[in-house]
Amino acid sequence: MREKRLRRERLRRGALRRERLLRGALWRGALRRGALRRALGWGRKPATGTLVVLSFVVAVLAAPVILAGSSAVLRAAATQPASDRVTKPGGAAHANGPGSPSRSGQSSQAADVATIDVGRFPTSVAVDPVRGTVWVVNSLDGTLSEISARHRDLIATVKVGASPVDVAVDQRTGTVWVTCLGPFDRPAADNTVDEVSEASGKIIATFKVGLDPFGIAVDSRTGTVWVADSGSRAVSEISEARQAVVASLHTGAGSEPVGLAVDPSAGVVWVASPGGLVQEIRAATLAVTGTVQVRLDSPAKSLNAIAAYPGNDSAWVASDSYVDGGYVSYASALPRAASRVSGGVVISKPGWSANIADGIAVDPATSTVWVAENGGNTVTMISAGAGEVARNLATGPGPVAVAVDSQNGTVWVVDNIAGTVTEFSYAHPEFTTSSQVRLRPGRPAVVRVHTRGFPIAVMSVHGAVPPGMRVRIGAGTVAITGKPAASAAGRTFRVSVLADNGVGTANGLYTFTQHLVIQVGAPARTGHR
């Protein structure tokens, strides 16, 4: 009898701890907009497990719910499944676009956009550019989806621990690391990190960490894995070489570490708490070397995600506030060893929808920042050097996390409600037409300038064109049409055509120019008999 009472007490304390997380600043986007109701419609009562009734939800959940920063997790209550990889059988592509009903193991593709079906309630994503794989956590299924980046297709499903939350990849060792909250009815199995071999698709090690592990990040240079233990107010350090947790750093009162980011070039770990606290840790010494309090505009506020900006000595954070009856999202830059935010970008709303910035990623090769806008069903591309929103691209319902592949110019967005991943291939504008043109006066002519790259570039023209001709600007194109007047004969006209799609270079160049040289020859001679 005493053992039963102790077991019930452990379950009660676990439920209260997770309810506190829900009631606090961790419960973000999906709960606010009814994604929870949709998720409950997907759920099924597990064969084994414990049903938990949370006082603020008028429903019996098949699993406790954790919604945190860049992830929204419906925790599976079933026992931890065996570790194995299920390879997807070949399947035909389908015509679903972002937001369309999905079918398992299928994908839809366009030239620069693809939508790929994964598991139920996906919450996070990581990319291995070396092996060309993308890994997605399916929290409700307790699995990882393995996607071929080249073929844009699901190739395998890997079983991991119960209630997985976040994922990171070490491309040097070919391992995938997953934080798992664990089965709700077996506290001894809670709070773990699974190490998965990309080659075998099996769990090769499991590590016990602090309470409620959410965010995870890998430093491939040092072979170190960092875990945000939100319930313990700590960060765990795992050594890949020693296959052990080698240190735990207490982050102090007022912290609740949820998001993690690593800058290997600087040897810095960034830790974010929902209340706006960001701590900078020197990896070599485990010393906190900087603290920033990100200003949030209202009591109903949250800092939801963080990403490092390698080579720029900074990190970017995604946050939102509830102001005057609506949500306002921000992306803010944090320099190293600084005590304040250096700059911020207000993310515009796509129509009437509420915007909640749930995920963020940085591509240093193109100087872009990508923000998953839950509620607006978009991913926002920010030109980091210009400090402005460049594009809002439509995704599937409920984008909560985002990852970039700098080497291949792709961004992967987790569509939490749809159970899909949306991929965009992006590149800065490149001119594909000649810059030298010869025309004859009085003869109809069309001078076309084309660009490639995604998103489609916004074009502008500077300089005088030959008299008798006019400029027409299209999507990624310019057409100069008409008949050069006689007064243009024998003259050279120099026109600058500018293209900008928000994607830049590593040094922050966003506008690309073609200097068009238009030469108008002499009038055609009229023959006489």
Q: Residue 343: which pLDDT band, with cuts at 50, 70 and 90? A: low
DSSP of 232-252: GTEEEEEETTTTEEEEEEE--
Residue 47 pLDDT: 31
Task: Give the whole-angstrom CA distance, residue 126 versus residue 380.
Answer: 18
Which pLDDT belongs to residue 97? 39
3-state secondary structure of 395: coil
Percent of the chain topping pLDDT 70: 74
CA 495 to chain centre: 39
Condensed to tens digits (0 to 9), the pLDDT of residues 432-470 reads 999 999 999 999 999 999 999 999 999 999 999 999 999
pLDDT of 197: 96
User: What pLDDT is recorded for position 321?
Assistant: 81
- Alpha-carbon distance of 436 to 438, in angstroms, equals 7
CB atoms within 10 A of CB 491: 14
Q: Which residues pair with 108 in a beta bridge?
A: 115
According to the model, what pLDDT value does residue 93 have? 32
Tell me if 442 sits within 8 A of 123, measured CB to CB. no
pLDDT range class, residue 290, cuts 50, 70, 90: confident
Is the confidence at residue 522, as pLDDT, over 80?
A: yes
Average pLDDT of the chain, as a whole number: 80
pLDDT digits (tens, 9 = 90+) for 369-402: 999 998 889 999 999 999 999 999 999 999 999 9
Q: Which amino acid is at 471?
A: V
Asked which of 26-40, 214-228, 403-417 is least confident by mean pLDDT, the reply is 26-40
pLDDT of residue 57 exceeding 90, the answer is no
Give yes or no for residue 88 having a pLDDT over 90. no
Residue range 273-281: mean pLDDT, rounded:
91
Arithmetic mean of pLDDT, 244-263: 93
Going from the C-alpha of 122 to that of each of 102, 139, 210, the distances in angstroms are 13, 6, 23
Q: How confident is the model at residue 205 (pLDDT cuts 50, 70, 90)?
A: very high
What proportions of the chain, in percent to the nearest 5, are helix, strand and coil?
Answer: 10, 45, 45
What is the per-residue pLDDT across 462-492, written as a single tens digit (0 to 9) for each?
Answer: 999 999 999 999 999 999 999 999 999 999 9
- Written as six digits, the tokens of 235 are 């960060």
Residue 206 has pLDDT above 90, yes or no: yes
When pLDDT is averaged across residues 266-292 and rounded to a whole number, the result is 91
Phi, psi of 114, deg, nearest 5: -140, 145
Q: Which of 213, 315, 214, 198 is nearest to 261 (CA)?
A: 315
What are the structure tokens assigned to 47, written together? Answer: 């064969």
CA distance linking residue 48 with residue 51, whole number of Å: 10
Instruction: Determine the average pLDDT of the residues in 81-92.
Output: 43
